[in-house]
Amino acid sequence: MKSKPAADIENRLAELRQRRGLSAAHLAKLVGISRQTIYAMEAGGYVPNTLVALRMARALEAEVEDLFRLREEPAAPQLRAEHATLLPGSEAPQPGQAVQLCRVDRHLMASVPSPLPWYFPASDAVVIHKPARYRKTDVEVFHEEADFRNRILVAGCDPGISVLARHVQPAGIELVLAHRNSSQSLKLLKQGCVHVAGTHLRDEASGESNLPEIGRLFAKNAVAVISFAVWEEGILTARGNPKGIRAVEDFGREDVSIVNREAGAGSRLLLDTRLKRARVDPRSVHGYERIAPGHLPAAWQIHSGAADACIATRAAARMFGLAFVPLVSERYDLAIRRTHLDLPGIQTLLDTLSRSSFRRELESLGGYDAKAAGQRML
């Protein structure tokens, strides 16, 4: 059964528990969960899975529908249009390109955000000694009281995960985002280094996204696969596509140079598959060995004029105002070890995926279809 966000569900748990004369600790013992979880459910911040809901209904001699019911879902708000003044000093944005708004006296100013982080990244500690190997090291923690238990470590290459990170923050959950390609992310999940691995590895034989590769890497029933979004991937070129690049075959032209992704990246796999299909030798492609570590860094190479084309997402093209030639629509999934599914942070993440506010913001970036976000694929 697909879970609903806690905000979409009303419950009468506290009322029925008190009517039966049960303490939170007693009910927790009967159901097999913690007292804190009972309090979290009564406060409306946590929705139990099907098994816990059934046990709770039995303990309280009630039906599940007596304990939990769906709120009436409000209609999606109509987006309003306003006049804004573009902040001078940046290139004129293209239709669909994102801006940030701020009121300065009587003016609504629109600033085009930088797709690259020109600031010091958030940090919690510094490394004390250079590690002999990339496994164990000593760090000096900035905040003595921090224990980092409210965090979920996510490895992946989709910049759209940052939207999810913003939407889980009000629930007190932080996503720590580690930029890795799809193959690297799944390897980290297999090693037990991360909670979540984002992946978009398409199996050419079946046309299926992710599940065949996950089936090869993990034991049966070891991993749950949750849909994040369907996105468009294709060829990014300079605004207006001045060199008339229409297909991967054009990458073999003498006047075209590209920037590629590292081995193991889904975009690299797509490029190699299309070059093979077109019978274009990768050695004849100018820039094939030039590597950009992600969709946005690759798009930046096109925006800066360092290369003529790359394979990346429509959202990356829109962020920089680039031309986009679609090649394929594919599913970007989140792989999670089943032993982690009951973690409060993971439950919050899964609830957030089905929220309409999250889906609207993700889809506004362009090239994302989030209707199936949160749907269990495996």
pLDDT value for 2: 43
Using a cut of 0.75, tell me whether the model's pTM lies above it.
no
Classified as helix, coil or strand, 188 is helix
Is the same domain home to 300 and 221?
A: yes
pLDDT value for 75: 61
Contact 301, 97 (CB under 8 A): no
Closest CA to 313 of 305, 325, 302, 301: 325
Residues in the chain: 378
In sign, the C-alpha dihedral spanning 338, 265, 99, 368 is: negative
Residues 239, 94: Cα–Cα separation, whole Å: 9
Question: Tokens 């004849």 label which residue?
Answer: 284
Is the same domain home to 195 and 99?
A: no
* DSSP secondary structure string for all residues of 32-92: TS-HHHHHHHHTTS----HHHHHHHHHHTTS-HHHHEEEPPPPPPPPPP----EEPTTSPP
Percent of the chain residues topping a pLDDT of 90: 54
CATH number for the domain harbouring residue 349: 3.40.190.290
The answer to whether residue 336 sits within a structural domain is: yes
For residue range 175-199, list pLDDT tens digits in order. Answer: 998 889 999 999 999 988 999 999 9
Is the same domain home to 14 and 98?
A: no
Is the same domain home to 210 and 183?
A: yes
The answer to whether residue 257 sits within a structural domain is: yes
CATH number for the domain harbouring residue 10: 1.10.260.40
Is the same domain home to 58 and 103?
A: no
Mean pLDDT of 347-363: 93
The answer to whether residue 140 sits within a structural domain is: no
Is the same domain home to 270 and 168?
A: yes
Is the same domain home to 297 and 258?
A: yes
The answer to whether residue 151 sits within a structural domain is: yes
Is the same domain home to 21 and 105?
A: no
The answer to whether residue 182 sits within a structural domain is: yes
End-to-end CA distance of the chain: 13
Contact 367, 232 (CB under 8 A): yes
Question: Tokens 């749950």 label which residue?
Answer: 224
Is the same domain home to 63 and 153?
A: no
Residues 116, 296: Cα–Cα separation, whole Å: 8
Q: Which amino acid is at 209?
A: S
Q: Which amino acid is at 259?
A: V
β-pair type (125-127, 323-337): unpaired
Give backbone dihedrals phi and psi of 133, rounded to 5 degrees, phi first.
-135, 160
For residue range 56-89, list pLDDT tens digits in order. Answer: 888 888 888 888 777 665 565 667 788 888 877 7
Is the same domain home to 53 and 110?
A: no
Which domain, by its residues, includes 298?
A: 147-378
pLDDT value for 195: 93
Is the same domain home to 326 and 293?
A: yes
User: What's the total number of domains in the chain?
Assistant: 3
| Confidence at 25, pLDDT banded by 50, 70, 90 | confident
The answer to whether residue 156 sits within a structural domain is: yes
Q: Which amino acid is at 250?
A: D
The answer to whether residue 79 sits within a structural domain is: no
pLDDT value for 271: 97
The answer to whether residue 125 sits within a structural domain is: no
Is the same domain home to 152 and 194?
A: yes
